Amino acid sequence: MSPSKGTLSLSGLIDKIRALSAASPEEAKAQFFESPNFARYIAQLFQEDRLFDVLPRLEIQLQIVRQFSPPVRPALDPYTSTQIGIFSKRFDDYEIGRFLGYPGCCMRSFAENIRYGIDEDHIKELKGSGMKAFVTTAGFIPCSLFCREAQSKGLLSFIDPSEIGNLRALEKETAMRLPHFHPEYREHYFEVRLL
């Protein structure tokens, strides 16, 4: 069986972080030209050996995701996200979003329209779609439930309600095997909405 979009998406993000672990800050800045300051920062942290425990945690998360094969990528391990600066205010939304592989249309919607969560427009789209449920990566706010780029990147998917149990099991397994202290992401790696 081929890997799910969620598995491929997480694997690609982990590959970026792995590449930064071996790059100098200046190499990282050049290699990740869409997120130069953020990439440089992560490479610097790796160079200073301040992220020694990040890659092993990400490998565990990837093992779990491969096991459950979700249609979308779960949120990156919150401990890792904190350590590499995703929640920091040092970098603008666009630089972080580009690093995470978010579509430009979704970043604009988030930053310029101040959409900080799944809102009534998303719910209206769900009601009009004929589908019963959708899932996104926790922390990712799509510009629209019909954003093809977000769907193709494994960040958003319409799902059958019967798939929700698998997503919740993945979240529970991840929380158990990768404990962390971020209060917003306790067993919360997906945003799921059901009609």
Cα 179 versus chain centre, distance: 17
20: confidence class by pLDDT, cuts 50, 70, 90: very high
Count CB atoms within 10 A of the CB of residue 107: 21
134: confidence class by pLDDT, cuts 50, 70, 90: very high
DSSP letter assigned to residue 58: H
Give the whole-angstrom CA distance, residue 143 versus residue 121.
Answer: 10
Strands 190-194 and 156-159: unpaired
Query: What per-residue confidence (pLDDT) applies to 26?
Result: 98
* Phi-psi group of 191: left, alpha or beta (phi > 0 → left; psi -120 to 50 → alpha; rest → beta): beta
Mean pLDDT over the full length of the chain: 95
Give the whole-angstrom CA distance, residue 99 versus residue 76.
Answer: 12
Mean pLDDT to the nearest integer, 15-44: 98
Paired tokens of 171: 């979240």
Cα–Cα distance list, 44 to 41, 57, 96, 116 (Å): 5, 19, 16, 30
pLDDT at 111 over 90: no
Query: What per-residue confidence (pLDDT) applies to 47?
Result: 97
- Dump pLDDT digits (tens) for 2-17: 999 999 999 999 999 9
Query: What per-residue confidence (pLDDT) applies to 53?
Result: 97
113: confidence class by pLDDT, cuts 50, 70, 90: confident
pLDDT at 76 over 90: yes
Mean pLDDT to the nearest integer, 35-47: 98
Residue entry with tokens 């909405």: 193
Q: Rounded to a whole number, what is the distance in angstroms from the first to the last CA of the chain?
A: 30
Mean pLDDT to the nearest integer, 160-187: 91
Which positions ≥6 away from 63 have C-beta within 8 Å?
none
Task: Parse the chain into domains and list their residue ranges.
Answer: 5-194
Paired tokens of 177: 């095997």
Give CA angle at 187 (181, 193), nearest 5°. 135
